[in-house]
Amino acid sequence: MFALVKKLLIFLLIVFIPNLLIAKERKFNLGKIATKTEIAGWDIDVRPDGLGAPIGSGSAIIGEEVYAEQCASCHGDFGEGLDRWPELVGGEDSLDTHDPVKTTGSYWPYASTMYDYIYRAMPFGVAQSLTHDETYQVVAYLLYMNEIIEEDFVLNDKNIGKIKMPNVEGFLMPDPRPDIANISGNPCMKNCNSPTKIIGKARDIDVTPEEEKS
């Protein structure tokens, strides 16, 4: 009796274990397994909860120097934005006005995004050249300029996921579209009530690029 059960168990194992292995096996046997070192070099994203934030720290006091050297030539000494480069500071209470100003302080919902973006894409044209500490310093400086943290606050990998940004509640999900009235597929075809008075002309605004004369 015991021998029979043992045989049955062995039989079941022989039949099912390869199936379990196959389910976990690579279907096409293409590509290679990535090493931890390879992944560490490219996996640079930082999530709102702080996952992915590299070990490091910085405060606004040192950040001001790094900012002046690395950022101010485009974004201005006070984050006001030069030419058409983006403003980084200010804009509070402007989002519901005719001319909203979207800055890290007035609009960005997460401090993690500032770290992530500055490290991966800034300074413009010299991407991924800041050290982790320098990146924390610049983020701390911008948070300080936007009156979100104190000047001596030390921003680091442990607390970047806990910074509360002013506009964190400013975003709506999920997407409510289609939000228009007509999803009947049968719009008006004849004598429709549609305004036909011309109230604006692009030609009058006169910002269309002129064609070069050849």
Partner 1 sequence: MGKNKNKKIRLNRRQLLVGTASLSAIAFTSRISNSQETNPNNLPPNVPEWTSELGVGVDANPYGMPSEYENNVIRRNVEWLTASTESSVNFTPIQDLEGIVTPNGLCFERHHGGVSVINPRDYRLMINGLVDREMIFTLDDLKRFPQTNKFYFLECAANGGMEWKGSQLNGCQYTFGMVHNVQYTGVKLSDLILETGLKSKAKWVLAEGSDSSGMTRSIPIEKILDDCIIAWAMNGEALRPEQGYPARLVVPGWEGNMWVKWLRRLEFGDMPYMTREETSKYTDLLPDGKARMFTWVMDAKSVVTSPSPEKSILHKGIHQLRGLAWSGRGKIKRVDVSLDGGKNWQTAKLHDPVMSKSLARFTLPFEWNGQELLVQSRAIDETNYVQPTINELQKLRGVNSIYHNNSIATWKVNKDGTVDNVRLG
Of positions 70, 104, 135, 156, contacts partner 1 by CB under 8 A: 104
Of positions 18, 68, 95, 152, contacts partner 1 by CB under 8 A: 95
- Shortest Å, Cβ 10 to partner 1: 28
68 is an interface residue for partner 1 by CB under 8 A? no
**By CB under 8 A, which span of 55-63, 147-155, 156-164, 203-211 interacts with partner 1?**
203-211
d(CA 99, CA 106): 13
Of positions 61, 62, 72, 74, contacts partner 1 by CB under 8 A: 74
Q: Among 111, 107, 129, 133, which residue's Cα sits nearest to residue 120?
A: 129
Write each residue from 180 to 199 as x if it is in contact with partner 1 (CB under 8 A), else as -, in one continuous string: xxxxxxxxxxxxx-xxxxxx
Nearer to partner 1, 14 or 195 (CB): 195
* 3-state secondary structure string across 137-158: HHHHHHHHHCCCCCCCCCEECC
Nearer to partner 1, 3 or 172 (CB): 172
Q: Give the footprint of partner 1 on residues 117-176 (CB under 8 A).
A: 117, 120-121, 124-125, 127-128, 170-176
Q: Please give the single-letter amino acid code of residue 107.
A: Y
Total of residues contacting partner 1 (CB under 8 A): 82
d(CA 142, CA 114): 9
Q: What tokens were used for 41?
A: 């070099």
Residues 6+ apart with CB under 8 A from 210: none
Q: Among 83, 66, 159, which residue's Cα sits nearest to residue 119?
A: 66
Nearer to partner 1, 55 or 193 (CB): 193
Q: Give the footprint of partner 1 on residues 7-66 (CB under 8 A).
A: 24, 26-34, 38-39, 42-45, 47-49
Nearer to partner 1, 4 or 174 (CB): 174
Determine contact, residues 151/58, Cβ cutoff 8 Å.
no
d(CA 187, CA 181): 11
